[in-house]
Amino acid sequence: MPATIVWLLLCFIATAIGTWLSIRYALHRRLLDQPGARRSHQIATPRGGGIAIVATLLLASLFLLWSGTGPRTTFASFALGLLLVAGVGWWDDHQPLSPRLRLAVQGAAAALLAWGFHADGGSSWQALVAFSSVLVLVNVWNFMDGINGLAVSQAGLVALAFVGFAPDGWSWLALALVAACCGFLPFNFPHARIFLGDVGSGGLGFVLAALLASTAAADRLDWWLLFLPLAAFLVDAGFTLLCRILRGVKWWEPHVEHAYQRAAQANGHSRVTLGYGAFTLLGLTFTLLSRWAIMPYIPLLALALLGGGVFGWLRLRKGVRCFGKE
């Protein structure tokens, strides 16, 4: 394997160059997200820049597969699954697809990844974690990709947790994700020159799901601690989705009811992205501390963190109904 610094630099540079090229492509093809009542931006902005992150991670996974770093069948199924999720997202960025078709492709990718883990000796529980994590995180990252820098910075921070705990080649893939997010971030924050698009948000969710499934079965820490760095997105996306379902609205349609969207309307994109980053960094710190001698206090800290997240969600969404028909 290459030295860590070389690996990080290669992934960073590849993503930065790819993002620059994707801006030129999006402008040429007129792939623009227009502002509107259900959007959080004010000017037309190119989309689909996440293709650069996906391409970098595909190349990284193929190199790991070629070098024999990590389980071969799982890495092969991961690469194919990422191609499926990113491919349907790339198609949707060019020509909107039906939610059912996107979900069907995501389900196929989830099943492929689950099979890969099981074929390489993983338990049925690990395969189930892989399948369900893909369906959840791909859509969570899509729902939460609505303001400058939020989805990509959260993915980079969450990946840091997997760097220290993921087994075999998965830790190298986590490093590649961190570097790729850093390579994309200057183009997306504080002012967005391009958005991730469905290709990027779906791709990030898929990679994080694979890292979660690989690490949860590694017995290097209590599996539930892996959800602490994910808490900000899971709380906001999960509770907002539940509210929309309870109200009987079309929950899959674009909207501005997430806590981060309402906070951005009042405080601007940068403050909200940094605030979510600070919350996730706290969850990441608790996860890392679990490796040392403070184990008796970690469950209490985790409950406090989750309680704070739910309280913040309620405060930010004050005035938005969760019950009754529209």
Cα–Cα distance measured from residue 195 to residue 216, given in angstroms and rounded to the nearest whole number: 31
Strands 32-33 and 45-46: antiparallel
16, 188 Cβ separation under 8 angstroms = no
Q: Please report which residue ranges of 166-268 form alpha helices under DSSP H.
A: 170-184, 197-216, 231-247, 259-267
Q: 46 φ, ψ to 5°? A: -60, 150
> Could you tell me the CA-to-CA distances from 122 to 127, 165, 169 in Å, in that order?
7, 17, 15
Nearest to 48 by CA among 72, 66, 65, 31: 31
Whether 256 and 38 have beta carbons less than 8 Å apart is answered as yes
What is d(CA 236, CA 223) in angstroms, rounded to the nearest whole number?
A: 21
150-165 vs 197-216: helix crossing angle, rounded to 10: 20
Would you say 198 is a known binding-site residue?
A: yes
DSSP 3-66: -HHHHHHHHHHHHHHHHHHHHHHHHHHT-EEPP-TT-S-SS-EE--TTHHHHHHHHHHHHHHHH
Q: Find out whether 148 is annotated in a ligand binding site.
A: no
Task: For residue 223, give the nearest of 211, 205, 239, 238 by alpha carbon.
Answer: 211
Binding site for Mg(2+): what residues are annotated? 142, 198
Binding site: what residues are annotated? 142, 198
